[in-house]
Structure 1
Amino acid sequence: MTQKTKNIQPLVRTNDPVMLVTGSAKRIGAAIIRAAHEQGYRVIIHCYHSEHEANTLANELNETWANSAVVILADLAVVNDTKALAQFVQTIMQAFGQLDVLVHNASRFYPSPLGSIDQSQWDELFLTNAKAPLLLSQAFYPYLKTQQGCIISLLDIHAHDKPFGNYAVYNMAKAAHRMMVQSLALDMAPDVRVNGVAPGVNILPEADSDQALDSEQQKSIIDSIPMQRIGKPDEIAHSVLYLAQASYVTGEIITVDGGRSLTLAGGS
């Protein structure tokens, strides 16, 4: 269970809020980091496999505002070990001495067709999409409570009544994460607010991934979206930043999907 810290330097501005985003070296996570940084947040970029991208992002942000971004490298499986989790929390809290916003963005996503579902798929998909968000929320709750902070989870429009075909384990894990948001909103009130953002197609799979889509598949998806385009990571980040500042909103899940959930009845 690797944990490494990069770019932690002496602080200059100590009154600015701090946001931790899991899985934030690139794509939607990086967009959230950039948007938060632009609004005056000090940011903690968490990653596991994308250390180079994370360090590049942190260096860029620190050039515009010194000592404002750090990188924490860790496997989210730290939640399976009490001592490792405690060390992870300590490492995070040493970065800036406080935590105001925790964003659960890290996620694994791949199909699990009936007949091929196995224990490893269950463990991995539930770890990143349900177990780690819950145990990290619990571990950071005392620090978030001190700051009267908040938790924001990245969910999925398919986590509620519209399952992806052949993605049973992922669907179940995201549905559990959605219920976590609503449950913790009750359990952590009034000290910590807990909300979620449910994207639709706001970013396409990477071209070299096993989930890559060809042009015909992309056109089919766009045709199914009332707004007639793929969403942008910045549009997710905008909603996350709104929820970070919406002091009387808790237990809510904002759908950011260009209207796709209005026309989607489950399936691919």
Structure 2
Amino acid sequence: MNQAPHTMPSASHHSPVMLVTGSAKRIGAAIVRAAHHKGYRVIIHCHHSEQQAKELATELNHIRANSAAVVVADLTIVNDSAALHVFVKDIIETFGQLDVLVHNASRFYPSPLGNIDHAQWDELFLTNAKAPLFLSQALSPYLKKQRGCIISLLDIHAHDRPFSHYTVYNMAKAAHRMMVQSLALEMAPDIRVNGVAPGVNVLPDSASDQAIDDKQQKSIIDAIPLQRVGRPDEIAHSVLYLVQAKYITGEIITVDGGRSLTLAGGHIS
């Protein structure tokens, strides 16, 4: 039986707070759910997926009142210092603090040579490199106050094994990987910075322009030593491990079922 609102357990004002960008669904939502299960108050950031974000917050607030909130923003706010200031103010005013920042928001699509344009460059670098850096910088005073941490969602193709036809994405994720290592040095000892590099952990939505057919799916699974696609909750588990690993910084955990061992770069499948 559902509890009445007035009998719901309420989130403690002492509970740590986690912000996850792009967390209305898929891997981001899995991270939010896992953190909430561990007692975190969570801030669900979204841009276009506001309805899913609100549904997720309602679900979590039903479990524990006043424990989840939604912040809607286009990450182009990082190009406008005034807009970024308002975003940071909104984040901190939500629960009064910030302990963990998870960079999950990302755009992913091909940019074959001969058709690369400035719009692709701007969008892919914005979500996969520029926004993570400027958000980290803007939120660092609050993370420092809590001796908190930053976790970045990267990609096994961001280091030495690029996707063919995804040059701009590869470059942007490689930049993000270097950001993790650079900020780990600059922010120590007050803020730890680490990353998680998924392999094939979520297949593209069947209705998206990146959808893959059954034959492609089988080809992908056959190339993974553990012979299955990973699950979003397995990424979330690694994120929460790094949050709790107080003597780890500048590290990137690969979560790919062994795919990196058999991958020499090339096509997405």
Compute the TM-score of the two structures, normalised by the length of structure 1: 0.96
Taking every aligned residue pair, what percent have the same amino acid on both sides?
A: 76
Alpha carbon RMSD of aligned pairs, Å?
A: 0.6
- Structure 2 gap ranges (5+): 1-9
Output the CA distance in 1 between the equivalents of 2:90 and 2:98.
12
Code of the aligned partner of 2:45: H
Tell me if 1:76 matches 2:80.
no
| Structure 1 gaps, min length 5 | 1-10
Shift of 1:13: 1.5
Separation in structure 1 between the aligned mates of residue 244 and residue 84 of structure 2, nearest angstrom: 28
Tell me which residue corresponds to 2:105.
106
2:93 partner SS = helix
Paired letter, 2:37: E
Inter-partner Cα distance in structure 1 for 2:11 and 2:200: 39
Residues 20-99 of structure 1 correspond to what in structure 2 (within 5 A)? 20-99=19-98
Q: What's the offset of the Cα at 1:170? A: 0.1
* 2-structure distance, mates of 1:213, 1:233: 18
Q: Aligned equivalents of 1:267 and 1:258: distance in 2?
A: 18
**Partner of 1:214 in structure 2?**
213
Superimposed CA distance per residue, residues 40-91 of structure 1 (whole angstroms, 9 cap, x where no aligned partner): 0000000000001000000000000000000000000000000000000000
Partner of 1:230, secondary structure, is coil
| Equivalent residue number for residue 139 of structure 1 | 138
Cα distance in 2 for partners of 1:136, 1:52 equals 24
* Residue 195 of structure 2 is aligned to residue 196 of structure 1: yes
Cα separation, 2, equivalents of 1:106 and 1:267: 24
What CA distance in whole angstroms lies between the structure 2 residues aligned with 1:204 and 1:153?
Answer: 20
Aligned to 2:166: 167
The alpha-carbon deviation at position 12 of structure 1 amounts to 5.2
CA gap of 1:166–1:67, structure 2 versus 1, over 3 A, is same
Report the TM-score when normalising by structure 2.
0.95
Q: Distance in 2 between matches of 1:178 and 1:210?
A: 26
- Number of aligned residues: 258
SS at match of 1:255: strand
Structure 2: distance between partners of 1:244 and 1:76: 24
Q: What letter is aligned with 1:81?
A: D
Deviations along 1:192-242, whole A, 9 cap, x unmatched? 000000000000000000100000000000000000000000000000000
Deviating above 4 A after TM superposition, structure 1's stretches of 4 or more consecutive aligned residues are none
Task: Tell me if the contact between 2:45 and 2:73 (Cα under 8 Å) persists in the aligned partners.
Answer: yes
For the residues of structure 2 that align with 1:149 and 1:247, how far apart are their CA atoms? 10
Displacement after TM superposition at 1:254 (Å): 0.0
* 3-state SS in 1 of match to 2:200: coil
Query: Aligned in 2, Cα 1:186/1:52: closer, same or farther, shift over 3 Å?
Result: same
Task: State the partner residue of 2:6.
Answer: none
Is 1:246 the equivalent of 2:245? Answer: yes
Q: Secondary structure at the match of 2:45?
A: strand
